[in-house]
Structure 1
Amino acid sequence: MTYEEQSSTSPVLTASLKRKMLMGAAIGLVLIGTFLLTAGEPNPAWGKFWRIRPLIVVPLAGAMAGVFHHFVEQYLAGGGLGSRLAVIVLSLLGYLIAFWLGSVMGLNGTYWN
């Protein structure tokens, strides 16, 4: 007699997760891009391509905030209005923290001294 094991694991990188990562990265890119365009004249000592690092790091932090939102939503799924409100509050707080840390890492040595 043979035994077949049924795997019930779901793929980690789902379409919903990809969409949330892209949304988080897009928001981060727009925010840091707006800041960099309106920040004024840069210090000549920063080099020619100093804007590349914040334009990469901040959207990556936004994408990780999207991952955080996805897993918080999965963990608190199935509840009522209170659960949905908790997901929104936790996700917003997580995004603000991720954006702040991404901004610090991206702008370190230039605007963030």
Structure 2
Amino acid sequence: MTQQDQLENHRMEWISFIKPILIGAVVAFLVISFFVFGLNNPAPEWGRFWKIRPLIITPLAGAVGGAFYAYMQSRVNRGFNRTAAVLISLLVYIIGVWLGVVLGLDGTLWD
């Protein structure tokens, strides 16, 4: 295997790890957007920039869930049961996004 082939393999591994992270973050952003942008009259004591915190924390939680999924997929290639890996990853992702929503909306909508 030449050095160019090794570089291409490394690049493909990196892309296969980044893709679930981005998908997880985008899905989490859409979930929190439903709550944040769906509110017409926020309480004045929340401040002017109250939307920033949930729009940052929840996608980060989704990205961590996506990273866990990518990690579990790498374990599948080493002999771990694929169905179990997907179910565990889905459970971790849902719990992570839920905790991200709670932490992001703490003190505003989640009080």
Range class of TM-score, shorter chain: 0.7 to 0.9
Alignment of 1:23-42 (within 5 A): 23-42=23-42
Which one has the largest radius of gyration? 1
Aligned-pair Cα RMSD in Å: 2.0
Give structure 2 stretches of 5+ with no counterpart: 1-9
1:78 to partner: Cα distance = 5.2
Shift, 1:15, TM fit: 0.9
Q: TM-score normalised to the size of structure 1?
A: 0.80
**In structure 1, what is the Cα distance between the partners aligned to 2:86 and 2:18?**
18
- Tell me what 2:99 maps to: 101
Q: CA deviation at 1:38?
A: 2.1
Alignment of 1:54-69 (within 5 A): 54-69=54-69
| Unaligned runs of at least 5 residues, structure 1 | 1-9
Q: Deviations over 1:59-98 (max 9, x none)?
A: 0000000110011111132559xx2211221111011111
Q: Percent identity?
A: 41
